[in-house]
Structures are given as C-alpha cells and as structure tokens.
Amino acid sequence: MTRYIISRLLQSVVVLLVIVTASFFIMKATPGSPLAKDRQLDEATEQQLMERYHLDKPAFTQYLIYLGNLAQGDLGESIKLKSPVSQIIKESAKYSLIIGTQAMLFALLLGVPLGLIAGLKQNTPTDYAAMGTALVGVSIPNFVLAPIFILIFAAGLGWFDSGGWDSWKDSILPSASLGFYYAAYIARLTRSGMLEVIRQDYIRTARAKGLSEKTVVLRHALRGALLPVVSYLGPAFAAALTGSVVIEKVYNVPGLGSHFVNGAFNRDYFLVLGVIVIYSALLVFLNLAVDLMYTFLDPRVSYDSES
Amino acid sequence: MTVCALMTIAVASSSCRGGGGVPADIFAMALGSDPETFDPGVMSGSVEGRVAYNIYEGLVSPPPDDGPPRPGVAERWEVSPDGLTYTFYLRSNALWSNGDPVTADDFVYAWMRMLRHDVAAEYINFVRYLKNARAFEEAIIAGQEPQVEVGVRSQGPQILVVELEEPVPYFIDIVMFYTMFPVHRASIERHGQEAAFAPENIVTNGAFRLAEYRIQNAVKLRKNERYWDADSVRLRGIDMLIIENLSAQVAAFDDGRIDWTYDPPDDQLAILATRDEFRVAPQLGTYYYRFNVTRPPLDDVRVRRALSLAVNRANLCRCTLDGKMPATAHVAPMPGYTSPTGLVEYDPREARRLLAEAGYPGGRGFPRIEILYNTSENHRTVAQAIQDMWQLELNIDVGLNNQEWRVYLETMNQLDYHVARAGWIGDYVDPNTFLEMWRGDDQNNDTGFANPEYDRLIDAGFAETDPAARERILQEAETLLLTEMPVMPVYYYAQEHLVRTSVRGWEMNVRDVHLGKYIWKE
C-alpha cells in the first residue's frame, strides 16, 4: 500500500511537470504581450519591465527560470497586479473553497432526499417530478442558471445582492448555482442505487423481520444505495472546486477562477501558471484520494501487488 | 454572449430599490478592475487614478468642475514670463498620513526616482519636460553618473523651483496629474520601492488614506484626519467595490450597494437615460479609425479622404450609438481650443469623385480591405455600420477582422492592417494630447504617417508662449492631419454615469476626476 502511494505521488509530480511545461509554452506561443497597452509603454520603461520579468530572455531560458523558482515553491509575481502569485492565490482560494464546499453540501442535502423519494415512489408523479427537476439540473449549464438565479432571487425577489462578496450571505446564490448540477446528478445516482438495493434479498429479510419501513429504508437500504454517490463525491468535489470559474465571473466572486480568466486575457503568465499548478495539484491529489478510498469502501479493490 | 444577454435581462427588469445599503457618510462606487498599483509614479490607468486622486494630493489639485485648477499642497505658484520657470509655494500645514510634513524635497524625490529609473514609470514623458531630464536619463541608461542638474530643486522645505527644457503651456495640468504626486521618501527607504506602497506600509498625503484592499473585492478609503483641509471633508470614507462586468456594476447600483457607477453597457443606455440618476457629458476622448498609410490602396490620400467622406457619422451616432456626438475633427472638444471645421464631413459624391481620381471609378479595381477591431459588441456594431456605408457609397469590398485585445494591439503595432479601430482619451486638457502622437517618431502613431511639416508645427506649438498664436499653430497642425488623414475621426466619447440623487458635490467635468473631498450625501 505504501509503495503504491509513493509510486502514485511520483507519477503525480511527472503529471504536474507535463502540465506546467505544456501550459508554459502554450502561453508563450499565444500572440500578444503582457506589457502591451493601447497607450504604448515608453521604451526605457518597457525595457525595465522586460528585464524584471525575464521577458527579454529566450522562452526556454524563461521556462528554466520558472521551473527553478517553482521547485523552491516560488510561483513568481503577477505582472498585472504586481504582487506575489502565492499571496494572490492564498487570498482568493478561500472564496473558491467556501463556494465549492457549500455547493457539495447543497448537492447532498438536495440530491439525496430527492433521489430517495423518487426511488421509493418509482413511476409515480412524485418520481416524475423529482427526476424532471434532476433532468433540468443536469441539462442547464451553470452560466445560464446563474443569471436566472440572479433574475429571480436578486432582481425579482430582492433576497440577495446580484454579486460581490461582503458577507456569507453573498455565497448562497453562487453555491446553489454551482451545486445544482451535482444535486441533480446525485439525485439520479441515489434513485438508481435505491432501486437496485430495494429489490435485494437482505431488504426483503429486513422487512420480513418486521422492521418499520423507516428503519428498512434509512438503516439498511440507504447505506447500499449511497455507495455510488460516495465514490462520485471525490471527482465531483474536485470538479466543483476547479469548475467555479464561470460562476465566480457571473457573481463577481473574488475567487481563483476570476484570476484564471483575467490572467489569460492579460497574458499574466505567472498568475495563470500559478492557478494552473494549484488546480492540477488539486485534481491530481483528489483523484489519488478517491482511488485510495475505494480500497476502504470496496474490499475487492486492492493496490498491493504482492496480494 | 449568453451570459451578457441574460445579465442584461436581469438588470433591465430589476427595479431600483434605492441606496439603503450604504451608510450616509460613506460614498460607495464601482471600480472596473483591481488597481495595478498604489504607487502614483508607476500607475497609468483610470482605475488607479480614481484611487490616487483621493489618497494623494499634488501641488495643484483638480477642481470638481471645469473651473480653474485649485491649490493643493502648493498654496500658490508663479510662472516666469518666458514660461520656463515655475515656483511653487507649499503650505506649511500639509502632512503625510503618518504626521510627517510634506516638503518640497518629497516632490524632488518623487520626480527624480522616475528619471533615475528606480521604478518603471509609464508616464515618464511628463518628467522629461524638466530641464536636462533627457541628458540625465541617457547617462542613467548608459550606466554613468549623470553630470547634469535636472530642473527641479527645493529652496527650503516650502519652495519648489521647477525649470523646463522648453515652455510647456499646459504644465499646470501636468502637475495636477497623479504621476507628479509626491511620495513618502522615508517609507521607500525603509521598505523598498514596491513594498512601501503595499496597503500595510503605504503613507499618503490626500484627503483620504488607504484603509483596506482586498483583491477583486474592494478598496476602502477612510478620511485622513491629518489632511490640511480635513475640516471641509464631509465623508467618513469611500468604498470602491471592484466589479468588472459592466452589467454587474449597474446591478450593484440597483441593489443599492454603490452610489456611483460609470460606463454602463451601451445596449442599456436607452433604458438608463430615462432615469433621474443618469448623467451624461462629453469626455475628453475621440473614437477614430487608423489608416495604414504604408499599405496600398491606403497610401493614396485621396482614397483615405474618400473613405472618410463616405461615412455618415450623424446617422451612425443616431442609430447605433445612443447619445454619442459625431466627430467633426480629431481633437475632442475642450475649453480653450476650437478645432478646424469642414474637414470631417459626409459627402458621398465627393467621395466617389476622389475614388475615381485615385484610379478606382465606381469602386472598380479597388482591392479588398479589412477593418481591424478588438473584441467588443460596441466596436463590432460600428465596424459593421461603416462596412455597409463603404460598400454602399463606394461599391468596394470591405471585410471585418476581429481580434482579441492583446493580439489586436500587436497587429496594429506591426502595421499589419488596412484600417483599424482606435480610441484616445486625453491625458490633460490641451490639444497637444491628441496631436503630438501623430509625429513621425511617436510610438503611439501606428499608422506609418510621417510628415516633417506636421512635426515642425507640433514643435512650434511648444515654443509659442502666446495662447492665441499657439492655438492658431495647433489648428494648422490639426488641419494638416485631417487633410492628410492618417486617421478618420468617428465620434467623441461621452461620459455616462449613474449617480444616486442623494449625492451632492459630485460634478461632471471634462477630466472625469471626482474628488471625494468635495462630495457628500444628503
């Protein structure tokens, strides 16, 4: 097991290196300079800035300098915001983390009960209503959903502000918009899990024992039905954390995603690379965590080569 | 696209709920992006300016309206008859936010650090007006010890003497600009050129101080109790919320989270214009098209003039650009200068005649040209309208070429275009800010246009100290520019604002600079 983890960690480093290398040269190959302005920089000033960010050196030298700094944990400096990338990421990651976590909580709190009820009342109007909602949730992309939520809950009902981040309250709409898709997906997973489990022999046995329906469903059936949901949570959480780019833009959330988008537009090389490094590290390690979790959830999965 | 459309619906349908959210002694406003820096010597944008004008104060201070400049750190100033020497008398009670007095040396230090290249100053050209500035800078670039004395020195703590290389008739306007603000030398020596301007270290001398900065969220300013004129400052603070999306800015205004927002999306103007909070005024800026004069068929002045004459600007502004003013010259309207008339007109018959004279009767044989513009709904609308007019009036083949902002800048800089959309916002209230860039050697030219007579007129404009004679020289230069037509003016920019009706002391002005020290709310 330990050997497996070590080898996976080493693989992760290679994966990250490939991602950084590819991203670096793609950024460099993109036309346009981070120092370009409609009012052109003074030549002497431009020269000063080029030297400062090593932009006057060949691309490969720049790459080596960047890798060297990265190895020491230095993500460089944002050309546009003129502050260290690590500091910018530290400040903004918390917003993305809050929204991502809340979106997952929202998804579970909405998705599981919805799927449960639908599964128990299969082929009734309740089931159709729940699954209809889920279908809508899975089909509507969040960049459509988010403005609709603004229209209803901010502009229409006036319960929330249309964007910005002053207090926790401002995180509700973004979290809900982001979590809606996952809620829908979880509802479908729970329903099909429920349908499968409810026909199993051990459920019939539990009922035969004379247990109340409530106990049968909540103590016996739900546990089995939620297995697919649990294994979905890992990748979903990673996707929610890194996938909030659009939501952050729409709601003007000062999170990582906005830096990713603006950084690309501004050719702010180090900011974009920094966010890419963080995003990919998150994805790689969350995937590793999920793989390891399988061994605990499902005894049939084992990563030990000797067994 | 979808997002924009839906946001527009969301915003358009929202009802105005009034400014309940902002306390009465706080003025809340939108900021279009994060300020790149709080160092006035380094900054170059309007967003940075909105912060800088409130936390710093220069020798001379911009007025709330279009009136004369107001005293700032300098109580008064004198100009020598030859226009070369300025003497500023600093007030004794001007203090930095840490209690240190603001002295003439602070200005000397602030200006010299740019020339010494201690910082990468984007508006370094403003300090190059100083006597011997260029020679000093050349020595610095060559890595030598400068042997010259630059024309800025203090005579005691309260007198600053400035000598210029040649007369700069609008120098007081330059002194008002944030590039010329003082910086706190002791902080820089303690923390370094950059860290001294970090929110936790920054020391400023304006009516407000920087209290808090959260990236992509807000810049919060609070009243500086040490400011010499603190008694007349009525606000407790200014909250600047960073909101990038223009529709979201309007939504924030409707939510009651901000009292002022500017540049609302063009497609909402018609709706917004009916509201009490809407204010519009001319801005010191021109929207124009560049012609690449090095590339046939645009190397022929007759072709350039024909293209300009075929554009019906009045129609364009009425139909597609609500409230914009059709351009009649290149220099945007400003007090103290009248542009030549009759050079930017709509005359399709003359256009066809010129085109025929250039060898393309009825548009025959005219090669396909493309209009280059950067990605934006607004630029596309204008380009399409002009494309239609050219095709209709001149029977020529015109294509559209849309590029992302930074790609567009590169393409234009490399002269790899036929016709390109452009815009210019004046840095100071003087025609020179629109005219100097068309000198053959100016790096903002980007048209290939070079005319020795034009360069001579621009130089003569500097040398002339009599305002009336100088105006005539600059008019001559503008006439030459519009006759040779490397640029085709389209319309003048307008400033559009939404200002809460309870806000007082907020005036429209051509510089679009609004100091919190004059503002209060009822």
Q: How confident is the model at residue A305 (pLDDT cuts 50, 70, 90)?
A: low
Cis omega (within 30 of 0) for bond into B297: yes
Does residue B458 form part of some domain? yes
The DSSP letter of residue B337 is B
Which of A162, A165, A169, A266 to probe by mutation at the B interface, max B CB count within 10 Å? Answer: A162
Section B476-501 average pLDDT: 95
d(CA B218, CA B299): 49
Q: How confident is the model at residue A291 (pLDDT cuts 50, 70, 90)?
A: confident
Q: Are B403 and B374 within 8 A, CB to CB?
A: yes
Q: Measured between beta carbons, which residues in chain A are less than 8 angstroms from residue B410?
A: 31-33, 36
Q: Measured between beta carbons, which residues in chain A are less than 8 angstroms from residue B444?
A: 39-40
In this predicted structure, the answer to whether residue A96 has a pLDDT above a threshold of 70 is yes
Looking at per-residue confidence, does A142 or A60 come out higher? A60
In this predicted structure, the answer to whether residue A274 has a pLDDT above a threshold of 80 is yes
Closest partner residue to B407 among A31, A45, A150, by Cβ?
A31
Looking at the structure, tell me whether residues B409 and B453 fall in a common domain: yes
Closest partner residue to B215 among A40, A92, A162, by Cβ?
A92
Q: How confident is the model at residue A306 (pLDDT cuts 50, 70, 90)?
A: very low
- The DSSP bridge pattern shows strands B237-242 and B26-31 to be parallel
Looking at the structure, tell me whether residues B305 and B223 fall in a common domain: no
d(CA A274, CA A92): 12
Could you read off the pLDDT of A116-165 as tens digits, one per residue?
888 888 888 988 988 888 888 888 888 898 889 988 998 888 888 888 88
Of the options 3.90.1170.50, 3.40.50.300, 1.10.3720.10, 3.90.1150.10, the CATH number for the domain spanning A89-265: 1.10.3720.10
**CA dihedral sign, ordered B485, B490, B493, B494:** positive
Could you read off the pLDDT of B307-354 as tens digits, one per residue?
999 999 999 888 776 678 999 999 999 988 999 999 999 999 999 999
Reduced to 3 states (helix: H, G, I; strand: E, B; else coil), residue B160 is: strand
Residue B214: count of CB within 10 angstroms of its CB: 15
Does residue B20 form part of some domain? no
Q: Measured between beta carbons, which residues in chain A are less than 8 angstroms from residue B17?
A: 158
Looking at the structure, tell me whether residues B409 and B433 fall in a common domain: yes
B486 CB-side CA count, 13 A: 22
Reduced to 3 states (helix: H, G, I; strand: E, B; else coil), residue A289 is: helix
Looking at the structure, tell me whether residues B300 and B173 fall in a common domain: no
Tokens in use for A117?
């009820």
CB–CB contact B6 A147 (8 Å): yes
Could you read off the pLDDT of B157-188 as tens digits, one per residue?
999 999 999 999 999 999 999 999 999 999 99
Minimal Cα distance from B7: which residue of A?
Answer: A147
Which of B138, B179, B217, B286 to probe by mutation at the A interface, max A CB count within 10 Å? Answer: B217
Looking at the structure, tell me whether residues B95 and B70 fall in a common domain: yes
ipTM above 0.90, yes or no: no
Which of A35, A43, A82, A90 to probe by mutation at the B interface, max B CB count within 10 Å? Answer: A82
d(CA B283, CA B494): 5
Q: How confident is the model at residue B38 (pLDDT cuts 50, 70, 90)?
A: very high
Looking at the structure, tell me whether residues B388 and B505 fall in a common domain: no
CATH number at residue B72: 3.90.76.10
How far apart are the CA of B214 and the nearest CA of chain A, in angstroms? 8
Q: What is the model's pLDDT at position B137?
A: 93
How far apart are the CA of A154 and the nearest CA of chain B, in angstroms? 8
Q: How confident is the model at residue B20 (pLDDT cuts 50, 70, 90)?
A: low
d(CA B40, CA B42): 6
Looking at the structure, tell me whether residues B363 and B488 fall in a common domain: yes
B153 CB-side CA count, 13 A: 9
Q: Measured between beta carbons, which residues in chain B are less than 8 angstroms from residue A31?
A: 406-407, 410
Q: What is the model's pLDDT at position B14?
A: 41
The DSSP annotation for A161-195 comes to -SS--SSGGGGHHHHHHHHHHHHHHHHHHHHHHHH
Reduced to 3 states (helix: H, G, I; strand: E, B; else coil), residue B248 is: helix
d(CA B433, CA B448): 19
Looking at the structure, tell me whether residues B504 and B459 fall in a common domain: no
Q: What is the model's pLDDT at position A210?
A: 83
Q: Are B305 and B394 within 8 A, CB to CB?
A: no
User: Domain span at residue B155?
Assistant: 26-227+500-521
How far apart are the CA of B359 and the nearest CA of chain A, in angstroms? 35
- The mean pLDDT value of chain B amounts to 92
Closest partner residue to A254 among B217, B404, B409, by Cβ?
B217
Q: What is the model's pLDDT at position A23?
A: 94
Rounded to two decimals, the pTM is 0.85
Looking at the structure, tell me whether residues B285 and B374 fall in a common domain: yes
CB–CB contact B13 A151 (8 Å): yes
- The mean pLDDT value of chain A amounts to 86
Q: How confident is the model at residue A304 (pLDDT cuts 50, 70, 90)?
A: low
Could you read off the pLDDT of B459-473 as tens digits, one per residue?
999 888 889 999 999
Q: Measured between beta carbons, which residues in chain B are less than 8 angstroms from residue A39?
A: 44, 122, 444
Q: Measured between beta carbons, which residues in chain B are less than 8 angstroms from residue A92?
A: 215-216
d(CA A271, CA A69): 14
In this predicted structure, the answer to whether residue A34 has a pLDDT above a threshold of 70 is yes
Question: How many interface pairs between A and B have CB atoms less than 8 angstroms apart?
Answer: 144
Looking at the structure, tell me whether residues B359 and B478 fall in a common domain: yes
The total domain count for chain B is 2
The DSSP annotation for B109-126 comes to HHHHHHHTTSS--TTGGG
Closest partner residue to A162 among B15, B122, B252, by Cβ?
B252
In this predicted structure, the answer to whether residue A84 has a pLDDT above a threshold of 60 is yes
Q: Are A43 and B443 within 8 A, CB to CB?
A: yes
d(CA B106, CA A127): 75
Section A233-239 average pLDDT: 82
Looking at the structure, tell me whether residues B456 and B506 fall in a common domain: no
Could you read off the pLDDT of B51-79 as tens digits, one per residue?
999 999 999 999 999 899 999 999 999 99
Tokens in use for B52?
């800088």
In this predicted structure, the answer to whether residue B506 has a pLDDT above a threshold of 90 is yes
Q: What is the model's pLDDT at position A290?
A: 76
Q: How confident is the model at residue B18 (pLDDT cuts 50, 70, 90)?
A: very low
Q: What is the model's pLDDT at position B431?
A: 95
- Among the listed residues B167, B138, B424, B104, the one whose alpha carbon sits nearest the alpha carbon of residue B288: B424
Does residue B154 form part of some domain? yes
Looking at the structure, tell me whether residues B411 and B304 fall in a common domain: yes
DSSP H helices in chain A = 2-29, 43-52, 59-71, 85-120, 125-139, 142-149, 172-198, 201-208, 213-215, 222-225, 227-242, 245-251, 256-265, 269-297
In this predicted structure, the answer to whether residue A298 has a pLDDT above a threshold of 70 is no
Q: Are A128 and A175 within 8 A, CB to CB?
A: no
Q: How confident is the model at residue A194 (pLDDT cuts 50, 70, 90)?
A: confident
CATH number at residue B364: 3.10.105.10
| Alpha-carbon separation of residue B72 from A80, A118, A145, B38 (angstroms) | 31, 72, 51, 19
Q: How confident is the model at residue A303 (pLDDT cuts 50, 70, 90)?
A: low
Q: For tokens 């204010």, name the residue.
A: B279
